[in-house]
Amino acid sequence: MVVADLLGYAPFAFVTLLVIPVALVPVSPWARLLVTRLALPIFGGYVTRSESIRRRQTARMRAAFVGESYRVFASQTLLMAAVAGVAGSVYGVYLAAGVLRALAVDPDAVRAALPTSLEFLAAITQLPNLSLLQLFALLLVSGATVGALFAFGAYWIRWTVLDQRARTRGIEIDATLPRTVAFVYALSRSGVPFQEVLRTLADNQRIYGEAARELSVAVRDMDAFGTDILTALGETASRTPSENLEEFTENLASVLSSGQNVSTFLRDQYERFQEEAQAQQRQYLELLSTFAEVYVTVLVAGPLFFVTVLVVVGLVIQNTLILIRLVTYLAIPLATFGFVVYVDSMTEGLGGPDVSAEAGGADGGRRNRDTPGTPEIADGGSVQAQGEDQALTAENRQRLAVYDRIGSFRETLANPVGTVLRRPSYSLFVTGPAALLLFWLSVADTAREPINALRTGSVGPMAAASELLRITDGPIVLATAVVLVGVAIAHEVQKRRTHAIEADMPDFLDRMASINEAGVTVVGCLKRLSTADLGRLGDEIARVWRDVRWGSSVSDALVRMERRTHAPTVSRAVTLIRNAMAASGDISPVLHIAADEAQETRRLRRERRQEMVTYLVVIYISFLVFLGIVVALTVAFIPAIEAAGQSSGPTPGQISGVDTGVIGGLRSVNTDAYELLFFHIAAIQGVCSGLVAGQLGEGSVADGLKHASVLLLIAYAVFAVL
């Protein structure tokens, strides 16, 4: 019987295994390759041949930057729809069977349990009494219906996701377009041919983001297929999901075809995009203010009102603890997660991309890691070592290979503080054991009694678990705060260092431009500025000059500074300076443009920070109000209700002659459970409010770790005093 039941679930398990690789296509290259190899032979010949549909779907793929041909993508979509249809049909049969089993209740028993006015509902339990043909028809209809919905849904979602990706790319392109135009304008002023400017931009996609990536397709068309620049720009205009980039490329193609001054056009476009960036900043701040108000209203005041009502109702009917637990442990975290994801999707690109500053060009002299063999020599030839020399050379190369493998690990151990600052998550290697040790020292003695009682059987498992939770929840919260504080400190120190360096960048570029205008070379500019008062950036410029004095090229020294600072503004300035130096020694116009762009970025960031301080304060105050009401419920309301219910009087419903009504029957209120839940809801709300405050006020959830730490410690301290 058991084997027969297990065999009955075999189709369910089979289609589930069939669905797994299809579901992993967006995230797994292996799954994508497997689906492609199956889809092309099966559905490659069924791809639509309608020119209008094909043209429309191809345009959606190009706008979403899909790196596959139309035939491959369409074949994958058809295979996914087919698999979804088969799986849906099987799931539909099991769904219908589950419904029939759930309804397999004796109608008389249902009728006896229902009020007289609702006895007619007992008739639905007669559905399982079907003939074989009727049962087959029911399962067939349910399977076909669910299967068709799954198939059409998978097909529709597959193509609709492209529109969402295209919209997201359009937002990112608009966000990176001002700095991209500034880069193109600056290089065009330095005398670099325009085709070479676009190639340089394509080589620095990591620095200039999605706009550079979009224009890099035009460079690929010119270099790989011999397309002229006007046609390549026209293709970019027809493909891009960004209206701003479409207008820019069309106007640029017109300027190039008419022979007008490109630098003048780019300067006008640069100024226009700077104005649009300011308008976009205002739009971004207004959107953030709206989200802040929504969060305070819905996810702070809403749960507080709901919990308060549940507590009052629970004190009367004594059955709302489960609902409060669902709100505390499930609803608040999930709602906050959904809010964070939604805000991130709606503001993506509006506040500027988070550009990594890690160098991507020269690798600083990568060592040859080939297997031991014939060594290379400086003139490009080779020398064949013999005997002992060959054996020694092979041994040395093996040692160098081992050194390369352990090099990064060695650098990490050699500079642990720098490693933690670059990657704040590495602080967990320190704060994690410290938090565990703190937790163990806090509960080692107090937890022994409930554990021993559970072993001896003197108390039930639920009572012992409740007691352990009461003992360990405080140390768990404190250990969590220690972990959050460690990561927050590392992240904040690195962020403040980066912002300090970026704040001095406009001054450095302006000074360098002025010195270069006076006829001083780039090396001379660095020599003079190495002793200037430039704050945190001054130390980096001094190191650049020291590298140059020790024989390094200016370009390599600047790349090393870029890698050390990990600052987006520095990355853009270094990329611009290096490419301008390759074209001309007079780079002062380029430096002025870079200084203006860095100053504008700094100004927008400062304006946003000033605007969002108000909403940070609002979130803090809303949490403190939330905490105050929870504390009032814990300290005053619940004990007063319990005391009222337990007071002795002439009758159970009176206190010193006063009729207490329903309060007189509240002797069984579980006040400890309510107080424990209030502590947990305050801690969870503190962490959630802190993360949202960081995202709204400073641009990322990581910035909210310090706020989450502060609010969590406030909640812990308040309940520790109670």
* DSSP string computed for 287-349: HHHHHHHHIIIIIIIHHHHHHHHHHHHHHHHS--HHHHHHIIIIIHHHHHHHHHHHHHHHSTT
Same domain, 615 and 675: yes
Same domain, 117 and 240: no
447: left (phi over 0), alpha (psi -120 to 50) or beta: alpha
Structure tokens at 464: 């012992």
Bridge partners of 654, per DSSP, are: 659
Pick the closest to residue 190 from 629, 672, 536, 516 (CA basis). Answer: 516
Which residue has tokens 């026209």? 234
Q: 382: Cβ–Cβ under 8 A, 6 or more apart, which residues?
A: 374, 375, 376
Bridge partners of 376, per DSSP, are: 382
Average pLDDT estimate for 290-306: 86
**Alpha-carbon distance 463 to 469, whole Å?**
10
Per residue, the 3-state secondary structure of 433-475, as one string, reads HHHHHHHHHHHCCCCHHHHHHHHHCCCCHHHHHHHHHHHHHHH
**Alpha-carbon distance 197 to 252, whole Å?**
13
Average pLDDT estimate for 149-173: 88
pLDDT digits (tens, 9 = 90+) for 513-561: 888 888 888 888 888 998 888 888 888 899 999 999 998 888 899 989 9
- Judge whether residue 322 has pLDDT over 80: yes
Kindly state the percentage of the chain with pLDDT values over 70: 80
Same domain, 700 and 629: yes
Q: Which of 268-282, 539-553, 641-655 has the lowest mean pLDDT?
A: 641-655
Q: How much is the mean pLDDT over the chain?
A: 79
Bridge partners of 655, per DSSP, are: 658
Predicted local confidence at residue 95, as pLDDT:
81
Same domain, 149 and 10: yes
Phi, psi dihedral angles at 382 (to 5 degrees): -150, 160
Average pLDDT estimate for 6-24: 80
Same domain, 235 and 126: no
Average pLDDT estimate for 426-434: 88
pLDDT digits (tens, 9 = 90+) for 468-527: 777 888 888 889 999 999 999 988 888 888 888 888 888 888 888 888 888 888 888 888
- Judge whether residue 431 has pLDDT over 50: yes
Pick the closest to residue 184 from 502, 590, 602 (CA basis). Answer: 590
The secondary structure of the chain in percent helix, strand, coil, rounded to multiples of 5, reads 80, 0, 20
Q: Which of 167, 183, 207 finishes a domain?
A: 167
| 446 within domain boundaries | no
Predicted local confidence at residue 374, as pLDDT:
38
Outline where DSSP puts E strands in 324-413: none
**Alpha-carbon distance 513 to 573, whole Å?**
12
| 714 within domain boundaries | yes
Q: Can you give the residue range of the structural domain that contains 708?
A: 290-355+604-721
Predicted local confidence at residue 376, as pLDDT:
38
| 460 within domain boundaries | no
Cα Dmax for the chain: 112
- Judge whether residue 712 has pLDDT over 90: yes
pLDDT digits (tens, 9 = 90+) for 679-711: 899 999 999 999 998 888 887 888 889 999 999
- Judge whether residue 402 has pLDDT over 80: no
| 485 within domain boundaries | no
Same domain, 714 and 612: yes
Predicted local confidence at residue 122, as pLDDT:
54
pLDDT digits (tens, 9 = 90+) for 134-145: 666 767 777 788
Bridge partners of 659, per DSSP, are: 654
| 70 within domain boundaries | yes
| 132 within domain boundaries | yes
Pick the closest to residue 404 from 434, 369, 456, 450 (CA basis). Answer: 369
Per the CB < 8 A criterion, the answer to whether 607 and 199 are in contact is no
Pick the closest to residue 347 from 292, 274, 302, 272 (CA basis). Answer: 292
Pick the closest to residue 710 from 611, 608, 617 (CA basis). Answer: 617
Q: Which of 249, 279, 309 finishes a domain?
A: 279
Same domain, 620 and 695: yes
Same domain, 225 and 154: no
Same domain, 119 and 253: no
- Judge whether residue 649 has pLDDT over 90: no
Per the CB < 8 A criterion, the answer to whether 332 and 681 are in contact is yes
Q: Which of 220, 245, 279 finishes a domain?
A: 279
| 528 within domain boundaries | no
Pick the closest to residue 478 from 517, 442, 531 (CA basis). Answer: 442
- Judge whether residue 49 has pLDDT over 80: no
Phi, psi dihedral angles at 376 (to 5 degrees): -85, 155
Same domain, 614 and 701: yes
Phi, psi dihedral angles at 657 (to 5 degrees): 85, -5
Pick the closest to residue 184 from 175, 194, 173 (CA basis). Answer: 194
- Judge whether residue 449 has pLDDT over 70: yes
Q: Spell out a b/e string for 239-275, using b for 16 or more CB atoms within 10 Å of the CB, else e.
A: bbbbebbbebbeebbebbeeeeebbebbbebbeebbe
Q: 373: Cβ–Cβ under 8 A, 6 or more apart, which residues?
A: 394, 397
Per the CB < 8 A criterion, the answer to whether 464 and 454 are in contact is yes
Structure tokens at 481: 């705060």
CA 465 to chain CA mean position, Å: 36
Q: 409: Cβ–Cβ under 8 A, 6 or more apart, which residues?
A: none
Same domain, 294 and 267: no
Same domain, 59 and 184: no
Which residue has tokens 């959606």? 60
∠ CA 204-208-213, nearest 5°, is: 70
Predicted local confidence at residue 688, as pLDDT:
92
How many domains is the chain partitioned into structurally?
3
Pick the closest to residue 336 from 5, 721, 701 (CA basis). Answer: 701
Whole-model pTM above 0.95? no
| 140 within domain boundaries | yes
